[in-house]
Every structure is written in C-alpha cells, then in structure tokens.
Amino acid sequence: MSGKIFINYRRGDEPGFTQALFGRLEQAFPAERLFMDVDNIPPGDDFFLVLESQVAQCDALLAVIGKSWLDATDERGNRRLDDPNDFVRIEIESALRLGKRVIPVLVHEAKMPGPDELPEAIRPLARRNAVRLTHERFRADVQGLINALQRALEEVAAVHSDAVSAVEREHEPPKTSPPSRRVSLTVFVLGVALVSSVGVWLAYPHLKPAPEERTAVQSTPAPSRPSSSGLTPLSLEREQALKPGDSFNECVTCPEMIVVPAGSFTMGSPDSELPRGSNESPQHLVTIVRRFAVGEYTVTFDEWDACAAEGGCNRYKPADQQWGRGRRPVINVSWDDATTYVAWLSRKTGKPYRLLSEAEFEYAARAGGQTAYPWGNDIGRGNANCIGCGSQWDGKQTAPAGSFPANVFGLYDMAGNVWEWAQDCYHDNYVGAPSDGSAWVSGDCSRRVVRGGSWYSSLRYLRAAARNGSASSTRLDDSGIRVGRTLSP
C-alpha cells in the first residue's frame, strides 16, 4: 500500500485533539508514511519552497480546524491566515494548487469557514467535504476517517500498480500495436495515476520528520506470552514502541493502561470560571516531557480483591456499602491504602506503577482541552455521576466503571463517580508548584490531594481544575484510586 499522510494544524489550536488524532492514525498506518511539522528548515533555505516540496510528496492533507483556527492572530494582532508567509496557509495553498485531496477535520464545535472568510488563495477549501471529531465519539469518529483513508489508499495502490505495469509494457519489444498507440496508453495511465493519487500524508504542521524511535519500528512487537501465573510484563522493546492511545495490561488482574502523550497545558482555573476555589490559583504552564500510562478506569473491586487475595494491600477488604463489588470502583480506601496497591502492582510485574501526580491527573482529564469540564463548558446530562449530573446514580451510589463516555485520551470517569487520590501533598494554592508535571511532595504531607469529584459531589467539583485535600488515612465511600505507570523512553 502506497500513499502518504500529512496533517496540517495550527499550534495552540486544539493541540490535544491533534496529538490524539496522530496517535490513533499512527496505529493504523506505517510510521514511514507519516510526516511531522518542520522546525528544522536549514538556515538560508526558502521555507516556502521547502514546504511546497514536502506537500508535493503527499497524496492527501488533513487540515485540522479548531475553534481558534480562523481568527488566530500574530504578535502584532494581525490575522495569521492573511499572511502569505503563514505556514498553515502555505501548506493548504500548495496542496490545493497541486491538486491534492484536502480534507478539513473539524474539531468538536468548530465551524467550517465560508469562502468569504478565507484568503483568496485558499478559498477552495470551503468547498471540501469535512469530517468532524468530537469528545463524545472521538474513537468512533477517527475510526471512520481511518476506514475511508484505508479504502482510498487501496485505490491508490491499484492505480499505481496499473501505472507500473504500463511502464513495463512500454519497454517490451513491439508487438502488433503501433508504437504511437502504446505510448499514448502509457501516458494516459500515468496521468490517471497522478491525478487520482489520494492516500494520506499525516503531519503536525511544519513538516518535521518523524522521530527515529518511531520510524525504526515498522510494526508493534507481539505481546509477551502469558506465563503460568498470568503475568505479561512488557518487554523493553514493546514498551519503547508504545504510542499515545495504545493500551496494555501486564497481568490477568492488573488494570488496563492507556498511553498518554507528552505535552503542555495551563493548570488551574481563570478568575472568570465560576464557581471556583482560590486553591486553583495561580494558573501556570506545566510541560510533561515524556509520555506515561494512566489507568483506563479507576481501580475496581475485582482488581483490589485480587491484590488482597495474594497477600498484598495488607489483606484489607473494604466495604462496598452493599452496592456490589466486581466492576464497581473500589471505595473506602485511603491514600495509605492506595500506596499499598501500587506497591503490590510494582512487585508483581517488576514495573514502576504509582499514583498519578496532581498535574498528570489534570492533564489527563483535560485531554488537550481548556474547558471547565473535560467535555466542555456545560455540565450537560449523562456525562458523569454526581449530584445534578443527570445519571441514574446521582447522589445515591457509585456507577460501574466505564458507564460514561471516555475522554479524547480514552480514559473513563476522570470526573465524578469517585474522588481519586493523587501522589501530591496538599497545598492551599499553586505558589511554588512544580512546572514539569512531577508530584509536589514537600511541605505538610499529612493531607494528600484528591481529584475528580464523586457521586456525592456538586457540579463545581467535577471541573477539571477542581481540587481538594484529605488526611492520608481517611477512608470514605466516595474515594477511590487510579494508577499511573512510568514508561521507558
């Protein structure tokens, strides 16, 4: 299968969606057919010619359009799209001029721009049929795009195969057909191949080649063979090959883990986000430089009980309040209890399991967004379990894990159902907080951070920035656990 995929996007405009989209497409297409944005145009080179050359190699360009794509401005307050030297504009303009398939990808609530809103050079973009990616149906939406691209690639492969056959026939000894007709047929088939090339060239804008660790791995290594004990710890090779969106677990009773991409986000809430707490200030930029893994769900009773049955977790069996065990999130566990669980996981698998840092939790909950709630600025109905969330469990009890839609990163119940312990000591504000995503473990550590809100929380505590603290020994029927895991670089 031939064809190259190129993603065109504007930095700062829905970066979480673009990262998640790239991660999903990277699972579907070989790494050598993916291209990332250029920060490395050689000094002195004409960047317009470099960008045009790279776009010329693609068969299709995905133009990711978020809510600020159309009106983004530069440091002088001028609209970026009106600048002929704007990288995003250059890439789209080149693709349109060269006859490439340009597919607008509308992120969440972004609207398709009209012709009168676009510079003349890229006005044809307004006539291109678009696809939409939403928080609620992200995986299904991306899978539909992947299916369409794969069909297009198969068609491209067939056309190119015909073109190659025509070239081979061109070099065969003449038979009964006149030479002029043979040449005409060859030119016609090659023309069809060039005009019909559709494929997919995926790129973060500005065309930086994919890192070596991606291109060196042509396929994901096979999972480790389960041992008689049910252990399937990742080999170093497979762990290093993991990409954002990949999932794994390392024993029959271990939590399912999702790989979350590295990235930056603004932690905390603005003064305009009401109701909010003073402990959510000051807002500050956090940069997480390495991918890491997060539990797809909160730890369930099944998973906790497996720990206790093997002599871990101090053999503690927390009460389920007569709501049921199984796939419901474990409750009545303290921060101290949570640390015994991750210690047991680490001993069992030989891998570095831990609690998430507070920054990692908020980053994973937001999944690239900066809205009040992980799914938007309105609570909506049926998105979570809390007082006023509109679910059948509101204010009554926990819901089974995974009862509500996952976020863009593929994580369930990052808001509501149960509060989740973080690794950090609790502080009243963010003055002096780490900026690298690490846990803040200095100061008074008798209280630890809890995040996410619960079935018994009001709406304000389900906001992505909301935070609270509790004594490390506290056991409540609305507090649970989500695990993290450090990954080898």
Are 186 and 249 in a shared domain? Answer: no
For the ranges 18-32, 211-225, 285-299, the one whose mean pLDDT is highest:
285-299
Q: What number is the average pLDDT over the span 167-196? A: 40
pLDDT at 221 exceeding the cut of 70: no
pLDDT of residue 50: 73
pLDDT at 207 exceeding the cut of 50: no
Are 325 and 450 in a shared domain? Answer: yes
Segment 284-303, tens digit of pLDDT: 999 999 999 999 999 999 99
Number of structural domains (the chain) is: 2
User: What distance in Å separates the CA atoms of residue 198 and residue 211, rounded to the nearest whole number?
Assistant: 25
Residues in the chain: 489
- Domain assignment present for residue 229? The answer is no
For residue 355 the two structure tokens come to 């609690």
What's the CATH number where 349 sits?
Answer: 3.90.1580.10
Three-state secondary-structure class, residue 28: helix
Q: What number is the average pLDDT over the span 151-179? A: 54
End residue of a domain, out of 159, 186, 207: 207
Q: What number is the average pLDDT over the span 197-213? A: 34
pLDDT at 486 exceeding the cut of 70: yes
pLDDT band at 454 (very low <50, low <70, confident <90, very high): very high
- Domain assignment present for residue 168? The answer is yes
- Domain assignment present for residue 224? The answer is no
pLDDT of residue 322: 95
pLDDT at 176 exceeding the cut of 50: no
Three-state secondary-structure class, residue 222: coil
- Domain assignment present for residue 412? The answer is yes
- Domain assignment present for residue 222? The answer is no
Are 329 and 477 in a shared domain? Answer: yes
pLDDT of residue 160: 54
| DSSP H/E element including 8 | strand 5-8
Angle at 212 between CA 207 and CA 214, to 5 degrees: 85
Going by their DSSP bridges, the two strands 60-65 and 101-107 should be labelled as parallel
- Domain assignment present for residue 216? The answer is no
Domain of residue 195: give its range.
Answer: 5-207
User: What distance in Å separates the CA atoms of residue 406 and residue 391, rounded to the nearest whole number?
Assistant: 16
DSSP state, residue 461: G
Are 108 and 202 in a shared domain? Answer: yes
Are 246 and 183 in a shared domain? Answer: no
Are 250 and 336 in a shared domain? Answer: yes
| pTM above threshold 0.85 | no
pLDDT of residue 41: 60
Please state, as a whole number, how many other Cβ atoms lie within 10 Å of the Cβ of residue 255: 25
Over its C-alpha atoms, the chain yields an Rg (Å, rounded) of 26
Residue 73 gets the label, from left (phi > 0), alpha (psi -120 to 50) or beta, of beta
pLDDT band at 378 (very low <50, low <70, confident <90, very high): very high
Are 297 and 430 in a shared domain? Answer: yes
Alpha-carbon dihedral sign for residues 273, 279, 280, 283: positive
Are 422 and 350 in a shared domain? Answer: yes
Please state, as a whole number, how many other Cβ atoms lie within 10 Å of the Cβ of residue 62: 27
- 112: buried, middle or exposed (CB in 10 Å: 19+, 13-18, 0-12)? middle
Are 201 and 242 in a shared domain? Answer: no
End residue of a domain, out of 207, 228, 248: 207
The answer to whether 452 and 414 are in contact (CB under 8 A) is yes
| DSSP H/E element including 241 | helix 236-241
- Domain assignment present for residue 219? The answer is no
User: What distance in Å separates the CA atoms of residue 198 and residue 44, rounded to the nearest whole number?
Assistant: 32
Are 115 and 153 in a shared domain? Answer: yes
The answer to whether 480 and 412 are in contact (CB under 8 A) is no
The answer to whether 21 and 133 are in contact (CB under 8 A) is yes
- Domain assignment present for residue 48? The answer is yes
End residue of a domain, out of 160, 186, 207: 207
Name the percent of the chain lying above pLDDT 70: 81
Are 270 and 131 in a shared domain? Answer: no
Are 142 and 270 in a shared domain? Answer: no
* Residue carrying the six token digits 């009209």: 114
User: What distance in Å separates the CA atoms of residue 135 and residue 442, rounded to the nearest whole number?
Assistant: 36
Segment 400-445, tens digit of pLDDT: 999 999 999 999 999 999 999 999 999 999 999 999 999 999 988 9
